[in-house]
Amino acid sequence: MIKTDNRCVDGVLKINGNKGYVNGKGMPVVLTGYATANWMNPEGFMVGQPPRPLEEVFPKNDRHNNMRFDRRRSITQVVRELCGSKYLETFWDRWEAGYTSEADIKAMADNGWNSVRMVLDANALLYEEPGIQFNEKAFARLDEIFDWCEKYRIYIILDMHASVGGVNGCCGDALHDHYPNLLMDDESKERQIILWEELTRRYHERWILAGYDLANEPVSTPPAYFAIPLLAKYYEECIARMRAIDHGEHIFFLEGPAFARSNEIFDHDYDPDYHNWAINVHIYGADCSLKDLRPYILKGLEFDVPIWISESGSMPIHNAVFYDICAQLGVGYSIWGWKTAAHEGKTGNVGAPLPREWNLITDFISGGPRPSYAKCQAIFDEYLDNLWYDKCVKEFEGTRISQKRPDIDVPGAGYDMWTPEGDRYYGNWEWGNYLEFRPEDHTKLVWATEKRHPFPDFNFDCGPKPEVRFDPLSDLALELSEGEFAYYTVHQVEKDCKVSVKGIGEAVFEISCNGTAVAETTLGAGNILEPMKSEPAVISACEDAVVKISVKKGTLTISAVSFEYK
């Protein structure tokens, strides 16, 4: 789909009411891409911090524990202890230069993405010193990012992931403690708004700038919930002062409290003069239906604004199904995150190899002996050198599947929720289904796993166990009766591709692609736990392949539809 890759990056991005976004020529855009996690604002668990028991990270008092090497502030202290103050003078410059280079931005475009969420740390741009002193070297690197994004046609969203004083409550922030100082401390708030004004002055004339993400996961731990009303006031003041500079040119992406999942502050138009803002949410492990999107879609309809999922991610096939739903609704999304440390040479996307003797550093962080200055400097030199894209491990198979491109098996339960004409798809089944997955579609989804059937629990211990995790895409199959049909779409079919149905059923069914019948075939009776594979039909190269499975006779149970180049 052109609207999901960088071919649609053309002119200043604007909202299109609750329908999504349009580029400078009025063409639809679905924001897709990655966040530059760990660039200015590293989070320890993604960059080589020693593992900690979950109960130490999330203690029962709801306060996230400060830990060694868990955020930029504590990493700075560890580097100072191990390598000395002189080494620290250039450490973050080298880190930021290597972590996001031109090669990274080019790779994002080459892999079919059209936007990047640039993760900022306020204290990397504005020194933590009396007065207002900007770090011009950090701004120079940001200038380069803008140039590269224009060159490779990648919209950029400025994400204040770590605010002055802190507002989040977790390691992904610049906080001193777990108090929302940004909202409670007048000096911190003023310094943060001044920084936003400076960013607006420097970049509001850059057409490649999509907009501003004012605060990441603000007020996200229960002890700080008292500050939620102050978050709305902060947004209002920030927007007013920034709009005095950019006059409505770029979008404000506003996150609610509680890890950007709560809608409670969205009770009025935050940009009344220009109405160019969006609701910004975080959804991990999304249910591949309308369920997780519905609260935000309804809120967007209320205020006529679109949705942006600025953090997301699940298993690639779940991404594929969920992101297609998002695209149909004009909902943009960003995956977290582009680059992390590669553990044992493995990565889920782009991985920076940890140094050969990194264990000496983690032992020290955990309370072990301190290596010599020379040894530590050599280890961190290797670390910083490995951050560059050409030194990283790359694994883009998950990207291809997440973008729903062949070779891929689309689960039977992951059928398209809209027809090619854009109408909502409905079946004839009236009784709902297991796991309450897509019940509004009136499709019959049957049990297709050896897992025990879920059933209403009792007060005593005989019900489903918490360790049994159900997954609708793998645990259910779609049953179609005579006259029923379902659609399955894949994108960017580059050459002739074989389409087969995996399932069972004494049925005759037709396979068509983009409205043209390509085969009529059959399966046979059997056990859905051991699905058969139909004779393949062949479809030609195309931008989007919308495959329709229509049952002519009998009953067909689909566990997956396979799209293969081989």
Question: Which pLDDT does position 463 carry in this prediction?
Answer: 52
What are the two backbone dihedrals, phi and then psi, of residue 511, each rounded to the nearest 5 degrees? -110, 125
Question: Which pLDDT does position 64 carry in this prediction?
Answer: 57
Q: What is this structure's pTM?
A: 0.94
Question: Which pLDDT does position 57 carry in this prediction?
Answer: 59
Question: Which pLDDT does position 107 carry in this prediction?
Answer: 98
User: What tens digit of pLDDT does each residue of 200-221 get?
Assistant: 999 999 999 999 999 999 999 8
* Coil vs helix vs strand at 89: helix
Q: Give the full edge-to-edge strand order of the sheet including 28-29.
A: 14-15, 21-22, 28-29
User: Under a CB-based contact definition with an 8 Å cutoff, are residues 292 and 283 in contact?
Assistant: yes
* Coil vs helix vs strand at 562: strand
* Token pair of 421 as six digits: 């004409």
User: What tens digit of pLDDT does each residue of 355-381 get?
Assistant: 999 999 999 999 999 999 999 999 999
Burial class for 89, CB neighbours closer than 10 Å (0-12, 13-18, 19+): exposed
User: What tens digit of pLDDT does each residue of 67-91 get?
Assistant: 788 889 999 999 999 999 999 999 9
* Region for 264 from its dihedrals, namely left if φ exceeds 0, alpha if ψ lies in -120 to 50, beta otherwise: alpha
For the chain, residues with pLDDT lower than 70 are 53-66, 171, 456-468
- Cα distance between residue 342 and residue 348, in whole Å: 9
